Amino acid sequence: MKKIWRWLLAALAFCAAPAGAEDKPYVVLALSGGGIKGYAHIGVLRELEKEGVGVAGIVGTSMGAIVGSLYASGRTPAELERIVMDVNLGELVTASGGNYFNLSDKATRDISMIRPEIYTDAHNKVAGPLGFVAGTSVLEYIAQLLSHVTVTDFRRLPIPFAAVATDLVSGEKVVLRRGSLASAVRASMSIPGVFDPWEINGRLLVDGGMVSNMPVETAKELFPGYPVIAVNLTSELEPREKLSTVFDVVSQSITILTMQNVRREATLADLVISPGVKEYPILGTSPAVEIIQQGRDAAVKALPQIRALLKKAPRRPVKEKELAPPKPPHVMGVHVVGVPEKMGKEIERELLKVWLGRPVPMKEIVAASANIAKREDVRSVDYDLLNTERGVIVLLKVQRFPAHRYSLGGYASTYSDMGWLVIGSRRYDLFTPGDTLQSSFYLGQRWGADFNYFWDMDVSHSSFWEAGLSASHFRIDASGAPLEWQRYNFDVQRHFTLHERLRLSAGVSATAARRVEGGESANYVAPFLEATFNLMDNPDDPVNGWLLNARSMWPSETGTMLMRLSLTGRRRISSKLMAELQGGFAEGDMDDKRLFSAYLGAREELYSLAEHPIEAERFAWWRAKLRYPLSQTIFGNVIAEIFGGQGYAWGSDGAEIARPWEVGVALCAPRRLIDGKLYAVYTDRKEWRFGVSVGVPNWDAFHLF
């Protein structure tokens, strides 16, 4: 009798239970590309969830692939909103934030911020670059956001997904359904001429918008039996009077390329939702909140059509093909391709020690890929999981730079006569696999040349040797007393990482220096040590944290220790306003030769002292800034800056020599384009000074310490 009652109660509970996840109407989404207009997809998704609409599959192109993949992987619309609010798209795309704080690592410093850059292979045949920015930082960021995904068959995601790209060689549409989800998204968003094309399985892929910007046809093919809701972000063509910037031209060109395939595929959709995002640029900057709201408004407006469509929609997912339940994956091997054999075997051994026999550690795989990508000769690292009867083989696919890289850069400032044109080159695999020879030639009133050879690098470039040979001519006009020297230097040092945030370098240098006027000379040997402690929250786009760099050397000429400390801190005050604090201390030796004096202003510690630095035994300085982005472009931010700072200089007897200060405003042009600044500075001498600087200075090429 008790058994009968239990069965009856179970039956009643089943009948009274609310509709489950299977008992609701399901549709398929086709999400179009559109740059930052793609934030509107998040608003549409939020309203569809609110309406109780099930999503049986998503097909995305470009920005639609980014949003679609994150949602398909289990991210909620609320999470997606937080992601787009927190990320600085311009800094992420150009990865210029990381270069800004990379103070001393010559092996990983960007070869050219401006990017007149040429790659050649081992036979001196031109091999790139193929886009304005590499986009590897975007790949790494998306990989981090998708590190919870443990499958490489996109059909096995919480919501089945596919990304659309274009084969640059054949012009064919390529539908990506397996492999690295982040890599598929990176390929789908490769706007030609802006991003480098992305290689997957031997095919060179660019933005899917070239052939299918709103992939309704693919959605119908992959998920038959479902109504397809398409979200269209394609703009109409702008009249001539509205084409006033290069970004307007790029946006108009993309619209011309995509509008024909969008119009054709719109006729195949069961419903097209078109958010009002016409006024927003594809590559510029606009408030994410506004664009997301446009998506919500468009979805709400379309609710009558959506509800009518849902009446015909399946009440449970229709399987395109019954997939066998996946076995719990365990790592049974690691295979690395795209690198010299010896290097690949070393990486495989290191990773197998940690991963063998364990369930697939996706977060660790993403972290290992990013770690290998830190190597100076590595352009990007992709991954895949190969299922076998015995377990999973983790496949790491490394793309290295071509054998040679040549660049053109430089620096110029009206605040001082420091200025030079820089011709740079890097050559890989010169003597051993993975080694690097970096050469730089500085042309100007102050000439210089340096050659740095890096070898014996470990898997993540965290430990390696460096040998350097350099020559330079420098001039300092300290308080009206000019000083000119020629210097020739050779050094050997070892770089290593004690912690992911602490890097050390130690070595010894031999220097011969000769004064141009007077013939005085100084020949000395100096052991040196350098440490960098990085507490920034994000190396590519830091918004909070500190970075400390300390350098010291003991020249045999003086027998005293010379030291230089620098500190940089950042804190986000609001969604746009950023506070930044910089400061430092230098200890020199103010002897008769003046070779090792500490020169306040020589490295633009205070802009107003750059032309005539203050010679001292030691000095300290600080500068505080408030930075506000006026606009954002694919090349970086245009920033308005208010700053103020002060310096303190002391003589060899310990007495204070000077306490200069300055306040001012600056307009900073995008770092990736020209890294230009327009200054207006008011000094302690009660005078205004105006100036312009362009490019990235490399003070180490000229200053002795």
Catalytic entry in 110, 196, 207, 270:
207
CA 274, CA 235: separation in Å to the nearest integer? 10
Q: Single out the residue of 373, 537, 425, 382 nearest to residue 118, CA to CA.
A: 425
Q: Residue 464: which H helix or E strand, with range?
A: strand 464-478
| ω into 77 cis (within 30 of 0) | no
Catalytic residue among 32, 62, 472, 509: 62
Residue 655: both structure tokens together = 């007495």
- Phi, psi dihedral angles at 594 (to 5 degrees): 65, 15
Q: Dihedral (C-alpha) 255, 258, 262, 263: value to the nearest 10 degrees?
A: 70
Give the CA radius of gyration of the chain: 29
Helix (H) or strand (E) holding 83: helix 77-86
Cβ neighbours of 9 (radius 10 Å): 10
Distance (Å, whole) CA 236 – CA 217:
21
Q: How far is CA 324 from the centre of its chain?
A: 38
Q: Measured between alpha carbons, how far is 593 from 581 in angstroms, rounded to an integer?
A: 34
Give me the torsion for CA of 572, 576, 577, 580, rounded to 10°: 50
Between CA 241 and CA 533 the distance in angstroms is: 51
- Residue for token pair 């005078």: 687
CA angle (470 as vertex; 492, 96 as ends), nearest 5? 85
440 is an active site residue: no
Residue indicated by tokens 């030291």: 563
C-alpha closest to that of 72 among 11, 146, 137: 146
Residues 516 and 547 sit within 8 Å (Cβ to Cβ): no
Residue with tokens 């960021």: 141
450 is catalytic: no
Q: Which residue has the tokens 């399987």?
A: 319
Active site positions, annotated? 62, 207
